[in-house]
Amino acid sequence: MKQVSLYLFCLLFSFMVFSQENIISEEILIMNDSVKLPGTLTYNKDLKSQSLAIFIHGSGNVDRNGNQAGVNIKANYIKELADSLNARGIAFYRYDKRSATEENLRFMMKDLNFDRFVDDANLAVNNFKDDKRFSSITLIGHSQGSLVAMLAAQKNVDKYVSLAGISEDMGSFIINSYKQVSQEMSDMTKEQVNELKETGTIENVDPALAHLFSKPNQRFFITWMAYNPSEEIIKLNMPVLILNGTKDLQVKVKEAEKLHVAKPDSELVLIENMNHVLKDIEKDENNMKSYFSPDYPLSSKLVNTIEAFIKK
């Protein structure tokens, strides 16, 4: 019996090594005018045809691996998802968000506009839409990227995945989020958001909201708040998968449920114990710790669910 177990273990180990050896990695630089979007494509060289997943990141200066300099986030979740799906025969493209690269900042400051993220995603899709190595393209949008991918998916995309995406415009989401802090904070936020929507500026930003509504950020928020995800998701004429983790501290499961109500023919999966950086969290005290270390395991149910959806 021990010999049989040892044989099976060796066979499995050989297969895993063989699979890793079959993964090709290509560095690809996409330009959006002067903005550089370096990225990595990984795929199985022995498969004549395979599906391609393109990952669209969340808010902040997120790089292609899912890490953020400055705030010391090192969860590495995007790369781990890429590796996991590559092992299942699915190609994966991930790129540095324009805000992740310091040399892009001088160009970004001249045009702080949410739509530029959508332009970047469209360029990524267009780069692969005629690539004969790939049989289909699935956009996976995470957090802020859920809306970005939702808008980009309206052309040249076969399937769409919302991963921890919100269901309402960003202004309303912020107002409702602050209700968890206090009604006073929520009311103050509502007043400032309404002023921004109505006049295009906030004359006197409350110090408690300065991190959100500083003068440079105001132009960006106007373009972001112009979209309501529950309205945009209806426009998608393709298979839609909506995912959210039950341990997500930033985007609650009710957001996914509301998106599903807006798009009843979508598939909704709530993943037990998954947090915002896609890790499987058993102990609550490890939730935030997982943002700063790659050592916490990626949710296996996440990988299984995305694989099944893409291959369906």
Domain boundaries, the chain: 24-169+227-311
pLDDT of residue 10: 41
pLDDT of residue 106: 83
| 24-169+227-311 topology per CATH | Rossmann fold (3.40.50)
pLDDT of residue 13: 39
Q: Which pLDDT tens digits describe the chain residue by residue (312 residues)?
A: 434 343 343 434 334 333 578 999 999 999 999 999 999 999 999 998 899 999 999 999 999 999 999 899 999 999 999 999 999 999 999 999 999 988 898 888 788 899 999 999 999 999 999 999 999 999 999 999 999 999 999 889 999 999 999 999 999 999 999 998 899 999 999 999 999 999 999 999 999 999 899 888 999 999 999 999 999 999 999 999 999 999 999 999 999 999 999 999 999 999 999 999 999 999 999 999 999 999 999 999 999 999 999 999
SS (H, E, C) the chain: CHHHHHHHHHHHHHHHHHHHHCEEEEEEEEEECCEEEEEEEEEECCCCCEEEEEEECCCCCECCCCCECCCCECCCHHHHHHHHHHCCCCEEEEECCHHHCHHHHHHHCCCCCCHHHHHHHHHHHHHHCCCCCEEEEEEEEECHHHHHHHHHCCCCCCEEEEECCCCCCHHHHHHHHHCCCCHHHHHHHHHHHHHHHHHCCCCCCCHHHHHHHCHHHHHHHHHHHCCCHHHHHHHCCCCEEEEEECCCCCCCHHHHHHHHHHCCCCEEEEECCECCCCEECCCHHHCCHHHHCCCCCECHHHHHHHHHHHHC
pLDDT of residue 285: 97
